[in-house]
Amino acid sequence: MPQAPDTITRNLWHVVAATDELRIGLVETTLLLDTPLALTRGIDGEPVVWLRSDEQNGDEIDAETVLERLPVRTAYGYTWTCLGTAPAALFPIPEFAEPDRVNMSCGSIAIHVSAPRAVENFLDMGHFPYVHTDILGSEPHTEVKEYDVEVSEERDEVLATKCRFMQPRAAKSATTAMEVEYVYRVPHPFCSVLYKSCPEDESRRDVIGIFLQPMTEERCRAHLLQSMIDSTSTITDLRRFQQTIFGQDKPILENQYPKKLPLDPRSETPIRADKSAIAYRRWLSQKGITYGVIPVAS
Ligand SMILES: [Fe+2]
């Protein structure tokens, strides 16, 4: 039997699907925190989520007939639910509402690793030249320069700023190599939002979100969001660019051992580039998260 999730995890909003991809009147099945769920959309387009009994993927269903529903909300193009007491708010991404941004979901990808491992990989710039060669990094520009990390008490999130990296092709819209500045936020134990220099407009930043759905302690689905300033690329091209990057991360992630994230800072050798990872692990520990991690032995 899987271990019951900790209370903090149970009471979070969790992403479960790209709202547009849920078919009206048809059942989609998924797993959240070891709990089987069923989802659909009503004729009004609103998502409905409930505890799955014997429904099968693709079954026809009238959403009106589902009476015992889990809490649900749509944000950033995705459907979110909660198995415990749903918090009033979900973390903000104010840029998403800017009228000239191209917002898109970029796929929901199953990965055989814990959700916190996937967050940590997303924060790591050190792998760019080796995993995303000639796109997000290239040799000999392998150095992760000094950057700042803090935990914002006010917003209850990890924030890494002044991260800089030389990138051959920072975005779909990039035409030359450029030193890119990154800001990383971790505003939710299983979600991260990245702001990076925008090749098309120096005064603004492209936004990339990764929302992890913890299916079990060792499996998750990565739901990707792009909120871009790009007046030339098609949505298909922008999606494909992000899917290429993530396709390179997936085998690396699945090779990580152990699949749960160890929270003890001594368990994996810390180097300077791991500063944000150390802050993230400590933040999870302080919150009391035990799902998908190996807690510090007390
Ligand atoms: Fe990566």
CATH 2.102.10.10 positions along the chain are 7-81
What was the pLDDT predicted at 2? Answer: 79
Sign of the torsion formed by the C-alpha atoms of 288, 294, 296 and 298: positive
What was the pLDDT predicted at 176? Answer: 83
Three-state secondary-structure class, residue 277: helix
Q: What spacing in Å lies between the alpha carbon of 134 and ligand 1's midpoint? A: 13
Q: What spacing in Å lies between the alpha carbon of 249 and ligand 1's midpoint? A: 5
Q: What spacing in Å lies between the alpha carbon of 246 and ligand 1's midpoint? A: 6
What was the pLDDT predicted at 272? Answer: 62
What was the pLDDT predicted at 270? Answer: 61
86-108 per-position pLDDT tens digit: 999 999 999 999 999 999 999 89
What was the pLDDT predicted at 298? Answer: 73
What was the pLDDT predicted at 228? Answer: 94
Q: What spacing in Å lies between the alpha carbon of 168 and ligand 1's midpoint? A: 15
In CATH terms, the fold of domain 7-81 is: Rieske Iron-sulfur Protein (2.102.10)
Q: What spacing in Å lies between the alpha carbon of 229 and ligand 1's midpoint? A: 21
pLDDT less than 70: residues of the chain: 1, 269-273
CATH 3.90.380.10 positions along the chain are 103-294
Q: What spacing in Å lies between the alpha carbon of 55 and ligand 1's midpoint? A: 36
Cα gap 170→240, rounded to integer Å:
14
Q: Which amino acid is at 17?
A: A
**Residue 133 carries which DSSP code?**
B
What was the pLDDT predicted at 266? Answer: 76
Q: What spacing in Å lies between the alpha carbon of 131 and ligand 1's midpoint? A: 7
121-141 per-position pLDDT tens digit: 999 999 999 999 999 999 888
CATH number for the 103-294 domain, one of 3.40.50.300, 3.30.450.20, 3.40.50.720, 3.90.380.10? 3.90.380.10
What was the pLDDT predicted at 271? Answer: 65
Nearest-CA neighbor of 126 among 278, 274, 280, 277?
Answer: 274
Nearest-CA neighbor of 25 among 79, 62, 66, 70?
Answer: 62
Q: What is the DSSP string of 9-73?
A: HHTS-EEEEEGGGSPBTB-EEEEETTEEEEEEE-TTS-EEEEE-SS--TT-B--GGG--S---EE
Q: What spacing in Å lies between the alpha carbon of 9 and ligand 1's midpoint? A: 25
